[in-house]
């Protein structure tokens, strides 16, 4: 949206309407009617295979086309805002439910802080205000009156949290205090992209307070590991875990841990972060406790967040020319059944068998949809559900009914190679087959993304090598002990930033920039 050259701060809902409707018309208006599995399919205005620009041709256009054609999201009326449609929101709900359970297992409680923050709060922590003040949305009028103090629409809640923690925490007995909230946040971003960077987005933000520096550090590491586990095991995204550089860390943190994912165009995506805040906010807000010796001390804090950006990451990690490809664990529909018939006697027998299979599969706890819409051909439906990224398609035609079997096709293996014929239409045989297949697709997606990632990270031993690798669009990994200024130079000259100092470190060598001995390697890449 920002790429269209609209000035920050301007509303473009009228021009947007014009601009986006042309895209929308291409993709048809298949509004999702009900709970995702039960949604009816409506006729699109254009053939489904014309709805999406091939990924290989224009990655950025492909991404926007997929979001539109698969009905994941739409543009809101205010520049840079996004409407998350049911199919996209269902993916987010799987992200939420997995993380929420994991947060509770690790001892965190959910709660809710108000989103309106007095402007003076933001100014209290020096680096925080520097980081966030250019991005703030400000409420200046309430109930028809000019407010005495401007209110910030929360961009993140550290300041609000500290204002409250300072009232609740008195003694070491009140620690650790471990909370999380699911919320919307607002950042006035200049360049926006659905899911990846929007003016408002949904996330969770964890906030914890501890009695010691060590406990805070352990917590920050524990939560980045939760994110890593989610990304790898649920989203099939082979992220690299590491530490951010001083320049790239969160405004107000002493250390930021990150998981970095490689998208299909080889740009990096920061997919989740966990911050050790040290005592920075505690000092700014006088958040203190009496320790076991009766001495007054500032608390040690962490914060950590994962957002709807993750949905964008999933699209850009796994999608292909045909559209979306969803990891089975997060797919709102895991199996779609497409019956194939010619009108007449065939129809009844095929539909009967299809309904039977649907019941079997649903009873096994697999998320299934039977597509009985009779105004589209099977071929159209194949394309449609491939575009929607459904991992498995079951085909049932008259011959299959006669053989008491079905055809099972994988989304991740194109054409005949991904099809298996004559799978017996019996509960134990079929369900076992589908479960094994879903597991296999899940791990295949991870393996494929891992291979892609590893073949696109190049070890470099000099700044010249780094420049060449970045120019190719790849990630460069090399020894680094440069200063903030050196890092800025690299960014200006190559467009790449330090994504992280990975936890997994090869032997240290000579810094590519300073030629001094480096104790760590850093990964450089262009990023979203």
Q: Which residue has the tokens 């204002």?
A: 163
User: Please, which of residues 8-37 interact with its own copies by CB under 8 A?
Assistant: 8-11, 13, 17, 21, 24, 29, 31-36
| Widest Cα–Cα separation across the chain | 86
User: Please, which of residues 153-172 interact with its own copies by CB under 8 A?
Assistant: 153, 160, 163-164, 167-171
The conformation of residue 134, written as its DSSP 8-state character, comes to G
Cβ neighbours of 33 (radius 10 Å):
12
Closest approach, Cβ 196 to its own copies, in A, equals 16
Closest approach, Cβ 36 to its own copies, in A, equals 6
Single residue of 59, 61, 102, 137 touching its own copies by CB under 8 A: 137
User: Please, which of residues 278-297 interact with its own copies by CB under 8 A?
Assistant: none
Cβ neighbours of 465 (radius 10 Å):
15
Closest approach, Cβ 161 to its own copies, in A, equals 9
User: Please, which of residues 379-408 interact with its own copies by CB under 8 A?
Assistant: none
Find out whether 42 and 29 touch, Cβ atoms under 8 Å: yes
Measure Cα distances from 232 to 236, 245, 366 in Å: 5, 23, 21
Find out whether 78 and 13 touch, Cβ atoms under 8 Å: yes
User: Please, which of residues 171-190 interact with its own copies by CB under 8 A?
Assistant: 171, 173-179, 183-184, 186, 188, 190
Instruction: Tell me the CA end-to-end span of the chain in Å, nearest whole number.
Output: 14
Single residue of 47, 54, 114, 506 touching its own copies by CB under 8 A: 114
Half-sphere exposure of 5 (CA within 13 A, CB side): 0
**Interatomic CA distance for residues 452 and 392, integer angstroms:** 23
218 is a contact residue toward its own copies (CB under 8 A): no
| Residue nearer to its own copies on the CB measure, 168 or 424 | 168
Find out whether 525 and 497 touch, Cβ atoms under 8 Å: yes
Closest approach, Cβ 332 to its own copies, in A, equals 9
User: Please, which of residues 478-497 interact with its own copies by CB under 8 A?
Assistant: none
Find out whether 241 and 345 touch, Cβ atoms under 8 Å: no
| Residue nearer to its own copies on the CB measure, 87 or 513 | 87
Options 111-119, 262-270, 396-404, 435-443: segment touching its own copies (CB under 8 A): 111-119
Options 83-91, 277-285, 380-388, 519-527: segment touching its own copies (CB under 8 A): 83-91
508 is a contact residue toward its own copies (CB under 8 A): no
77 is a contact residue toward its own copies (CB under 8 A): yes
**Interatomic CA distance for residues 18 and 327, integer angstroms:** 34
User: Please, which of residues 314-343 interact with its own copies by CB under 8 A?
Assistant: none
| Residue nearer to its own copies on the CB measure, 332 or 397 | 332
User: Please, which of residues 35-74 interact with its own copies by CB under 8 A?
Assistant: 35-36, 38-40, 42-43, 74
| Residue nearer to its own copies on the CB measure, 167 or 293 | 167
Single residue of 6, 27, 129, 202 touching its own copies by CB under 8 A: 202
H-helix or E-strand spanning residue 181: strand 177-186
Options 47-55, 62-70, 115-123, 470-478: segment touching its own copies (CB under 8 A): 115-123
SS3 at position 499: strand
Q: Which residue has the tokens 């002493």?
A: 254
Report phi then psi at 400, rounded to 5: -65, -45
Closest approach, Cβ 481 to its own copies, in A, equals 36
Closest approach, Cβ 306 to its own copies, in A, equals 16
| Residue nearer to its own copies on the CB measure, 96 or 514 | 96
Contacts of range 500-506, beta carbons closer than 8 Å, 24 or more positions apart:
500/240, 500/241, 500/242, 500/243, 500/244, 500/245, 500/258, 500/260, 501/242, 501/243, 501/244, 501/245, 502/240, 502/241, 502/242, 502/477, 503/241, 503/242, 503/243, 504/240, 504/241, 506/459
Closest approach, Cβ 144 to its own copies, in A, equals 6
Single residue of 19, 61, 102, 150 touching its own copies by CB under 8 A: 150
Closest approach, Cβ 31 to its own copies, in A, equals 4
Among 350, 341, 293, CA closest to 172: 293
Q: Is the peptide bond before 176 cis (omega within 30 degrees of 0)?
A: yes
The conformation of residue 336, written as its DSSP 8-state character, comes to E
Single residue of 1, 27, 82, 523 touching its own copies by CB under 8 A: 82
Supply 523's token pair: 């990964």
| Residue nearer to its own copies on the CB measure, 160 or 316 | 160
Number of residues that bind its own copies (CB under 8 A): 91
């Amino acid at each position: 949206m920002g790429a269209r050259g609209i000035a920050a701060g301007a509303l473009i809902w009228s021009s947007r309407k014009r601009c986006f409707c042309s895209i929308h018309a291409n993709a048809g208006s298949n509004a999702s009617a009900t709970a995702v599995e039960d949604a009816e399919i409506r006729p699109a205005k254009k053939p489904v295979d014309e709805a999406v620009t091939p990924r290989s041709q224009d990655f950025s256009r492909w991404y926007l086309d997929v979001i539109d054609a698969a009905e994941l999201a739409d543009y809101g009326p205010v520049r840079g805002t996004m409407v998350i449609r049911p199919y996209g929101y269902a993916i987010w709900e799987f992200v939420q439910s997995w993380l929420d359970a994991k947060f509770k297992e690790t001892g965190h409680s959910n709660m809710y802080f108000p989103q309106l923050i007095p402007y003076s709060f933001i100014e209290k922590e020096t680096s925080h205000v520097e980081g966030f003040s250019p991005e703030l949305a400000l409420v200046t009028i309430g109930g028809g009156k000019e407010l005495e103090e401007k209110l910030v629409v929360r961009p993140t809640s550290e300041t609000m949290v500290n204002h409250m923690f300072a009232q609740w925490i008195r003694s070491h007995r009140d620690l650790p205090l471990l909370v999380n909230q699911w919320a919307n946040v607002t950042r006035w971003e200049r360049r926006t992209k659905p899911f990846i960077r929007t003016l408002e987005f949904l996330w969770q933000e964890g906030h914890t307070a501890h009695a010691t520096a060590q406990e805070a550090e352990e917590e920050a590491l524990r939560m980045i590991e939760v994110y890593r586990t989610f990304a790898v095991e649920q989203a099939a995204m082979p992220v690299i875990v590491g530490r951010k550089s001083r320049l790239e860390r969160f405004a107000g943190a002493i250390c930021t841990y990150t998981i970095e994912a490689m998208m299909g165009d080889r740009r990096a995506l920061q997919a989740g972060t966990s911050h050790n805040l040290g005592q920075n906010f505690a000092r700014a807000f006088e958040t203190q406790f009496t320790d076991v010796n009766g001495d007054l001390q500032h608390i040690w804090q962490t914060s950590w967040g994962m957002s709807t950006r993750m949905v964008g990451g999933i699209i850009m990690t796994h999608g292909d020319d045909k559209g979306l490809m969803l990891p089975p664990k997060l797919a709102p529909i895991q199996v779609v059944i497409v019956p194939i018939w010619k009108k007449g006697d065939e129809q009844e027998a095929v539909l009967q068998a299809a309904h039977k299979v649907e019941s079997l599969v649903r009873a096994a706890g697999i998320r299934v949809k039977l597509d009985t819409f009779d105004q589209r051909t099977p071929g159209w439906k194949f394309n449609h559900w491939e575009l929607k990224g459904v991992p498995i398609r079951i085909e049932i035609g008259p011959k299959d009914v006669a053989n008491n079997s079905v055809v099972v096709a994988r989304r991740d293996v194109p054409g005949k190679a991904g099809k298996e014929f004559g799978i017996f239409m019996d509960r134990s045989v079929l369900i076992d087959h589908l479960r094994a297949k879903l597991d296999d697709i899940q791990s295949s997606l991870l393996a494929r993304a891992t291979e892609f990632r590893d073949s696109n990270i190049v070890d470099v031993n000099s700044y010249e090598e780094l420049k060449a690798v970045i120019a190719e669009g790849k990630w460069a990994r090399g020894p680094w002990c440069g200063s903030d200024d050196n890092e800025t130079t690299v960014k200006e000259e190559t467009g790449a930033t330090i994504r992280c100092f990975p936890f997994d470190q090869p032997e240290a060598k000579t810094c590519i920039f300073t030629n001094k001995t480096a104790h760590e390697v850093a990964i450089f890449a262009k990023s979203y």
